[in-house]
A = this chain, B = another copy of it.
Amino acid sequence: MLHDLDMEKRLREAKLRPTRQRVALAEIMFGKGDRHLSAETLYEEAREAGVAVSLATIYNTLHQFTDNGLLRAISIDSSKTYFDTNTGNHHHFFFEDSEEVVDMPDGYVTVANLPEPPAGMEVSRVDVIVRVRNNVS
Which residues of A line the B interface, CB within 8 A?
Answer: 73, 75-77, 93, 95-96, 104-105, 108-115, 117-118, 120-135
Contact = CB atoms under 8 A, between A and B. Distances in A.
Copies in the complex: 2
Contacts of A127: 127-129, 131
Contacts of A120: 134-135
A117 B135 CA distance: 10
A73 B75 CA distance: 13
Given A93-B117, A109-B111, 11 more contacts: A75-B75, A109-B112, A109-B114, A109-B115, A118-B132, A121-B133, A123-B131, A125-B130, A126-B130, A127-B127, A127-B128
A88 to B, nearest CB: 16
A100 to B, nearest CB: 11
Given A75-B76, A127-B129, A134 B121 contact: yes
A59 to B, nearest CB: 13
B130 A114 contact: yes
Given A120-B135, A135-B121, A111 B128 contact: yes
